[in-house]
Homo-oligomer: A and B are copies of this chain.
Amino acid sequence: MHGADYNPDQWQHDPKVLEEDIRLMKLAKCNVMAIGIFGWSALEPEEGVFTFEWLDRVLNAFAENGIYAWLATPSGARPAWMAEKYPEVLRVGANRVRNLFGARHNHCYTSPVYRDKVALMNQKLAERYSQHPAVVGWHISNEYSDDCHCDYCQDAFRGWLQSKYGTLDALNMAWWTSFWSHTYTSWSQIESPAPHGEKLVHGMNLDWKRFVTDQTVDFCRHEIAPLKAINPELPVTANLMDAYEGLNYWKFTDVLDVISWDAYPTWHHAKDQSSLAAWFSLNHDMFRSLRGGQPFLLMESTPSLTNWQPVSKLKRPGMHLLSSLQAVAHGSDSVQYFQWRKSRGASEKLHGAVVDHVGHEHTRVFRDVAELGGHLEKLTEVLGTTVPAETAIIFDWENRWAVKDSQGPRNMGINYEQTVLSHYQAFWDQGVPVDVIDMTGDFSKYKLVVAPMLYMVRPGVGERIEQFVAGGGTFVATYWSGIVDENDLCFLGGFPGPLRQTLGIWSEEIDGLYDHDENQIICSEGNSLELTGSFKVRELCELIHLEGAEALAVYGDDFYAGRPALTVNQFGQGKAYYIAARAEQSFQSSFYKQLIKEANIEPALRTDLPHEVTAQIRTDGDSEFIFLMNFSDQDQVIMLDERTYSDMLAVDGTAGSGAVSSSLVLQPYGVRVLKRSKV
């Protein structure tokens, strides 16, 4: 699928626009559009008056021209008449002030009126369009986000707590309210976190975030119900955002049939683009992992530039193709854009689009899009295939909330996401496919599980990690792990709490380092991983004791010089590694290179890759599709391994026909898709 968000509701005053758009869509080889997002004013201009005619025209024109639609529910923005008549639909901030009408995503997801209005609208849409030949699925709302603190939400939060904890005693214990005399003696005393109220009760903060996720999921379910009631077959998706912190996306996996997300990398910012590219790869891998490896959709990306980043830089030649196929490489079955045609006014009028204000196809961007459309046609074999990951990295929302909210060793930056990325990037650099999961995932599918900074360990997780290792798996943990339980209550009796036995160490203290501080870890002679030399460490250094584990490296400086900094514990059939300090990237590279070898993990390509280049793999079980991607602004030479490859994007246009020799040159921002047989 190749397409874009399309807003014909903005162009009703000029009917020629639709006609021209259909012509251009075909020219650009676009076959799918997301429509109706933010269309409420056009669909119900006054209460109870529905005007679907314009949408009929669009969808019929699509059907006649072989174009498909993800049809949106318009709940992402409510019309002015609704806000005026029912102020309760507007959100209330943490400062307890109700928003005025304006912006988008400005509704209370608890408000009964809003829920009624949404249910009615969605029912009408479903009645009219759920059998329409152009409609391939539902696009639910838009980028769910943020929270509301109105009285309805306060009541809902209290109800949620009551059903979670049963008694106030249990809640008081979980939140450790005896600290600072916070003991609640009635449910009505509880208020959501507020800048001028409570913001430091970490257990409450966590529960508020969980509630916000649950309430949003509930609202999403409420949106879907009338759609499924009328046509249970039509799939639903909701466009998510890269690692959006406010909502635990793992809670949406049961509600959505298809995962889709919106990716906006700031290409050409840094000289070295490997971290940025790896971050978006990580996200692709996570969105694929959300539903067990099932292909996802790239619902939004920009065909040229955004207008909301600090600087809107044009994509350099090649980057549009590279960046789009990066999504496909990690499991996307589509490339879609925000937006098809630039709006004339308001806040996103300068956001990149396939069709610019100039209105015609004779632009660099249009040509890039059409070229990509041609390439995508050559990749139909790849559709529906999956990624054969033997490694999983844990990137857990609740852990993220907890470790960042907690006041601890480095309030000036605990850098959870960057830490996860740093571990991920070691695999990306070596072309090793990875799943990105949360801590409730199934570890048994993997040879290697990496858990960077697993500060929170929820019930059962420590046990499952123990079983995984005992059964022969390799597990890697780091400093600042096993500190708190699911309520952000510290484990008593010794860190890393439930991981202590598996890892065979006790962590006594953690030293926070200023930005100007550094230490080093020195690899022990003859260590079992054959690591050599020393590596700089910064930010966090843990002082640990061996309790069965063996030291592979020790600190080099300061009063803890000589104490263990990297350990391994033989546990059952497996091994558990512990990295006690935050090391520079070259440590992660060296360490995981050895581990990949030791754990017998298969990379996409059995070859060393140049810096800023990655290889990713999808497979249908018989064929393997290798995506070679060069994110640098230089030519890069790749030596292939001994297997036989064909080039799927070869210029002669016949997919799979082009034979490939043993080495390849990737141009700046170049991408190649190779095919080989699985042996």
A residues at B contact (CB < 8 Å): 7, 9-10, 12-13, 38-42, 45-46, 74, 76-81, 83-84, 93, 95-104, 173-186, 188-189, 191, 194, 196-203, 269, 304-305, 307-314, 316-317, 342-350, 356-359, 363-365, 406-412, 487-495, 506, 508-509, 511-514, 543, 558-559
Contacts and interface: CB of A to CB of B under 8 A. Distances in A.
B407 A99 contact: no
Given A181-B38, A269-B514, A492-B357, A409 B311 contact: yes
Given A12-B178, A41-B181, A349-B490, 17 more contacts: A38-B181, A46-B185, A79-B185, A99-B196, A100-B197, A100-B198, A101-B197, A200-B346, A200-B347, A308-B411, A310-B411, A311-B410, A313-B512, A313-B513, A356-B508, A358-B492, A363-B509
A489 B313 contact: no
Contacts of A93: 196
A322 B312 CA distance: 43
> Considering the complex of A and B, which 6 residue pairs feature the smallest CB-CB distances, nearest first?
A176-B345, A100-B197, A102-B198, A200-B347, A179-B346, A41-B183
Contact of A84 (B98, B188, B350): B188
Contacts of A511: 313-314
A270 to B, nearest CB: 9
B179 A10 contact: yes
A37 to B, nearest CB: 9
A354 to B, nearest CB: 14
A322 B494 CA distance: 28
A345 to B, nearest CB: 3
Given A46-B185, A189-B84, A310-B411, A345 B512 contact: no
B180 A104 contact: yes
A64 B120 CA distance: 72
Contact of A182 (B41, B174, B344, B407): B41
Contacts of A559: 316-317
A313 B514 contact: yes
A409 to B, nearest CB: 5
Contacts of A309: 411
25 contacts: A7-B178, A41-B178, A77-B181, A79-B181, A80-B186, A84-B188, A101-B191, A102-B191, A102-B200, A103-B180, A179-B348, A200-B347, A202-B347, A202-B349, A304-B509, A307-B407, A314-B509, A344-B490, A345-B488, A348-B407, A350-B409, A357-B493, A359-B492, A359-B493, A363-B508
Contact of A202 (B180, B345, B508): B345
A349 B176 contact: yes
Contacts of A96: 100
Nearest to A317: B559
A518 to B, nearest CB: 13
A102 B199 contact: yes
Contact of A102 (B194, B310, B345): B194
A363 B184 CA distance: 35
Given A494-B358, A514-B311, A189 B101 contact: yes
A85 to B, nearest CB: 10
B197 A312 contact: no
Nearest to A491: B357
B311 A492 contact: no
Nearest to A175: B345
